[in-house]
Amino acid sequence: MKVNDFTADQARYFDQQARLLGIEEENFVGDYEFANVLAFLNLFPHSKILEFGCGTGRFSIKFLEKGFDVFGVDISSESLSKLRYKYKKKATLKWGNLKTAKKIPIGKKFDACVCINIIHHLEKPTDTIKEIKTCLKKKGIIYIFEPNPLYLPWYVYFASKGILPIEKNILKSSMWNIKKMLIQQGFKHVKTMPYGLFPTRLLFWSPAVLKFMTLSLSRLPVIRLFTFHNMLRAEN
């Protein structure tokens, strides 16, 4: 299948980012983010997770460390290579198993699919969500974590980094659009949650402020519309 220009540009960009990225060490902010993702997902222990858009594994490694099996999918070969390197370097017998591929596996079934900051990098997100649905077990969970297009500082950040062409589909990834796509594809029990008024990694200096901004203030009426991320969870 021919790769279109949009997908090729995305792959080149993330290959470049993976090459530039060191083997980053997480602080409490990364652990805090993961704890919120895990709580919202609410999975059984040792679940099998399809992580679509896994990148270099910032969340994959944490899932594996908790004993979940992870099948990481990403169009970036460099990112997958770095993920496999980190897994081999850190994994113990208590960790889950890791597999990787550049495409969603056909014929395999998963307890959950995790999509973190990836939907707005897709040219046709509806087609991908439809494909993901076929890979989920009955009552399997899809989890989506996406930047909120109503959070205006995103556009300043994208412009300053020169990455507006890479991030342009953020306009398609509003909470309402994604919820509509999930329902159209037959997902049930769709839950949404606003997340944070500021990028959590800027709040590393205060756990108390971090918790207040992400779990308290961001859920107030009106304010919840303008959080920097949104989370969605739905059942197959």
pLDDT at 26: 63
pLDDT at 201: 77
DSSP output for 68-90? -EEEEE-S-HHHHHHHHHHHHHH
CATH for 5-235 is 3.40.50.150
Contact present, 54 and 71 (Cβ < 8 Å)? no
Cα–Cα distances in angstroms (integers) from residue 223 to residues 144, 213, 216, in the given order: 20, 11, 11
What residue segments make up the domains of the chain, in order of their start?
A: 5-235
pLDDT at 2: 47
pLDDT along the chain (236 residues), means of 10: 74 90 69 93 95 96 97 96 95 97 95 97 94 97 97 94 92 94 97 90 81 87 93 98
Tokens of 142: 């899809």
Q: What are phi and psi of 123, to 5 degrees?
A: -75, -40
How confident is the model over 22-64, as pLDDT tens digits? 655 567 888 899 999 999 999 999 999 999 999 999 999 999 9
Tokens of 133: 């649905």
